[in-house]
Amino acid sequence: MKNTVVTYETFHGSARKVAQIISDELGCKCINVDTPFEIENLDGIDNIILVFNFRGPYTAQLTKIYLDRVKEQLKRKNLFLVGEGLFSEKEFPIVADEIYKNNPSKTFNKFFVNGQLRMDILFPEEKVMLGKFADLTGMEIKDMGELDIAKAKDVASKIKDIINSSNETLYVDYIHDKNETETKWVCNICGYIHFGENPPERCPLCGVGSEYFKKV
């Protein structure tokens, strides 16, 4: 599919594995969003599949930076957001919808793949972040989860079906109806953006409390 590209952002490799599974199914390029200039110009690309671990503050921030760079181009593209992470399936749609609100595209679809956590490969800053999240939730810090390869393959198949079908089956499952007068709050840790009178009780992206949000 020459008009499709799979992009990813990762530090520890799980998102890259998911992205590679999808690109193999679609027979298209698979590119790290940090690759200079390779996917800055999206001319000729109709479908962008963006894979990232949305629990990782670094990958989330780098993904946001990339989306900001291609924001105007996205308005004419079909965006597929694939989140990979732990204990996140209920919260991921919230984050995905916020991403779409800030980066509206022609059509938008979102999927989630269960990931894994391995303490021995985390950066020190990530362990600090995880500790804050554990304090908020009472979660025990330990190795957990296994990358759900079967789910990744299922997501790849679903994306392929959507792309191969008529345009009528491509859809936006979140309506971009943000009131531009709403107050904007930004998480100082991961860059997550929230709109509303008050900041969220905790960041759905990285788990820190409302005190880490600043009003813009």
pLDDT at 146: 77
DSSP helix/strand/coil, 133: helix
Residues in the chain: 216
pLDDT at 80: 94
CB burial of residue 185 (10 Å; 0-12, 13-18, 19+): buried
Task: Give per-residue pLDDT as tens, 139-157.
Answer: 677 776 678 899 999 999 9
pLDDT at 173 over 50: no
Task: Give per-residue pLDDT as tens, 39-94.
Answer: 788 999 999 999 987 665 566 677 788 888 899 999 999 999 998 877 556 667 77
pLDDT at 177: 43
What distance in Å separates the CA atoms of residue 214 and residue 57, rounded to the nearest whole number? 17
**Domains of the chain with bracketed CATH:** 4-177 (3.40.50.360)
Of the candidates 57, 42, 192, the one whose C-alpha atom is nearest the C-alpha of residue 105 is: 42
**pTM for the whole thing?**
0.69
